[in-house]
Amino acid sequence: MSKASSENLRQKISNNLITFLMQGVQLDSFTQQIDTDINIDKMEKLLKIHFVLKDDVIEFVQDLPKEVRRIKTTVNKTHEKASNEIRGKIDWQRTIKSRYKTNPRDKSKFVISRTEQNYNTTENIILKKLLSIINNIVFQLLDNVIEKQYEWVEDWWQDEESLRETVKKIYHRNIYMRRIEIETDTNITPRMISDTIKSRNQFYSRAAELLRCYRNLLNYNIEPEEAEEVLQNTFIKPEKTDVLFELYWVFQILQKVEGEDVTFHLIEGGKNIVAEWEDENYTYKLYHDSTGSLAWNENSGDMNTPEEDGYLYREKKTIDKWQNMIKDLFINQSVSDVLWGGRPDIIIEKYEQNTEELSELFIGEVKYTQRKKYITKGLKELLEYIALAKENTAYITEKENLFDANIKGALFTDNTDGIDIENQEDGNIKIVMYDENFEELFDIVDVG
């Protein structure tokens, strides 16, 4: 039976992530794995998605069709002079006064009174600003997800008259909403929001409350309970236990970084760097599901044809022949040159501060399984990463010292029942199981 259940992992990861979320840090390398249909490249996007999934927002949109009919307006009265042509109600008192000032006998002069409805009240501006935010999130960040009718956003697509269509109709087509003019740079002050929250009209009061909630979210002004809700409902919503298992080990490593000022990074260049820290002599960089700063691929063009007949000789000849035939037979068809490529689950790069040279490398391969066959496959992949790691185009390890010295590795598994852990002889490579008491097996990870 699995020791690392999905729910157990969620709880352990949430406890760690809440701390980082409360600090407003970025954990993009994790969020990239949530769903291939969402490109969450900033924590800000994650919080926006969380906002439209909130019950209060859902209920507000559900009530929009009936509430929007009662939008409040103010009345503006204007007066203007007219000659001969009368468009509007004649204000006789002002007309007589105006004629006496100019020419009392001129019967063609009138003062016209006009009454106009003003939709640009503070309450209406706040309402439309809120709807513009919801509209942008639903039709930009979540458009593909809602189109594919994923369950975790079902509130927005279920039923014939979906909430997404409700927002679209009211925000873009409603005659009252179209008369409310807001610019993208409209300065809605906290005082305006506070005053509207006190409104006797609950519709406007709710809108102001939600707008303030949205601003608090994006300013990371979040209560611990809401932070946990963000993580449980948005960040780790999908049932991908293997990914959760990877995150568990990432945080186990980070917990070993004691007394260091850890910096959490945004994704830059697709390298998925999670954290960086320093000690007196070294700089450390932690990556998740990434190639890091190194190269992990082999191309057939870089492979010399062996002189002696055998498997490698014939394999190289086969690849060369295949590539040439593809080029001759198929129009506009690219030919892959990759023999092998990889992306480790966890990487820690250790650099000399003075020289900025790579001093040591740790590679972690994670296998959420109890099947020995899959564990042995993971061990083979780990050894391949160690043997084939390159800095630029040069291998890191010397061929005489292939699995020794400057590269260390660990295979993290769910359960190692039936594996003789005590019989591990290789000091640089360890198999580590999911257990509370793994410290003695985990010393191989050098984190400063």
| 271-302 pLDDT per residue, tens | 577 788 888 888 999 998 888 888 888 888 78
- Beta-carbon-side half-sphere exposure of residue 170 (alpha carbons within 13 Å): 26
Domain final position from 85, 103, 118: 118
- φ, ψ of residue 276 to 5 degrees: the values are -145, 140
Co-location of 278 and 408 in the same domain: yes
Output the six-digit token pair for 409.
Answer: 């590795």
- Asked if residue 32 has pLDDT above 60, the reply is no
- Asked if residue 10 has pLDDT above 70, the reply is no
Co-location of 327 and 203 in the same domain: no
| pLDDT value of residue 34 | 45
| pLDDT value of residue 3 | 65
Co-location of 269 and 399 in the same domain: yes
What end-to-end distance do the CA atoms of the chain give, in Å? 35
Do 282 and 351 meet the contact criterion of CB atoms below 8 Å apart?
Answer: yes
Would residue 23 count as lying in a domain? no
Of the given ranges (77-86, 133-142, 216-225), which has the lowest mean pLDDT? Answer: 77-86
**Mean per-residue pLDDT, 132-150:** 85
pTM of the model: 0.61
Would residue 22 count as lying in a domain? no
Co-location of 292 and 275 in the same domain: yes
Identify the helix (H) or strand (E) that includes residue 276: strand 273-278
Residues 231 and 417: their CA atoms lie apart, in Å, by: 32
Nearest alpha carbon to residue 361 among 393, 406, 326, 402 = 406
Co-location of 197 and 256 in the same domain: no
Angle at which helix 122-136 crosses helix 202-218, to 10 degrees, equals: 50
Co-location of 80 and 182 in the same domain: no
Would residue 2 count as lying in a domain? no
Range with the largest mean pLDDT of 17-21, 174-178, 308-312: 308-312
**Mean per-residue pLDDT, 75-89:** 67
Report the SS3 class of residue 369.
Answer: coil
Would residue 267 count as lying in a domain? yes
Would residue 51 count as lying in a domain? yes
- Asked if residue 40 has pLDDT above 50, the reply is no
Nearest alpha carbon to residue 408 among 347, 323, 317 = 347
- Asked if residue 160 has pLDDT above 70, the reply is no
Would residue 206 count as lying in a domain? yes
C-alpha distance from residue 353 to each of 93, 260, 268, 285 (Å): 87, 15, 21, 12
Co-location of 176 and 259 in the same domain: no
- Asked if residue 44 has pLDDT above 80, the reply is no
Look at the chain and report how many structural domains it folds into. 4
Residues 441 and 421: their CA atoms lie apart, in Å, by: 9
- Asked if residue 260 has pLDDT above 70, the reply is no
More confident residue, 226 or 290: 290
Co-location of 225 and 372 in the same domain: no
What percentage of the chain exceeds 90 in pLDDT? 18
More confident residue, 362 or 113: 362
- Beta-carbon-side half-sphere exposure of residue 416 (alpha carbons within 13 Å): 21
Co-location of 266 and 415 in the same domain: yes
Of the given ranges (2-16, 241-255, 398-412), which has the lowest mean pLDDT? Answer: 2-16
Mean pLDDT in the chain? 78
**Mean per-residue pLDDT, 47-71:** 89
| pLDDT value of residue 2 | 60
- Beta bridge pairs of residue 347: 287, 363
Range with the largest mean pLDDT of 72-76, 153-157, 182-186, 191-195: 191-195
More confident residue, 38 or 374: 374
pLDDT tier at 92 (50, 70, 90 boundaries)? confident
| 367-382 pLDDT per residue, tens | 988 888 888 899 999 9
Identify the helix (H) or strand (E) that includes residue 277: strand 273-278
Range of the domain at 287: 241-296+342-441
Would residue 11 count as lying in a domain? no
Co-location of 137 and 42 in the same domain: yes
pLDDT tier at 94 (50, 70, 90 boundaries)? confident
| pLDDT value of residue 268 | 40
More confident residue, 85 or 124: 124
| pLDDT value of residue 302 | 80
Co-location of 217 and 229 in the same domain: yes
| pLDDT value of residue 330 | 86
| pLDDT value of residue 266 | 43
**Mean per-residue pLDDT, 404-433:** 78
| pLDDT value of residue 36 | 41
Co-location of 281 and 398 in the same domain: yes
Would residue 447 count as lying in a domain? no
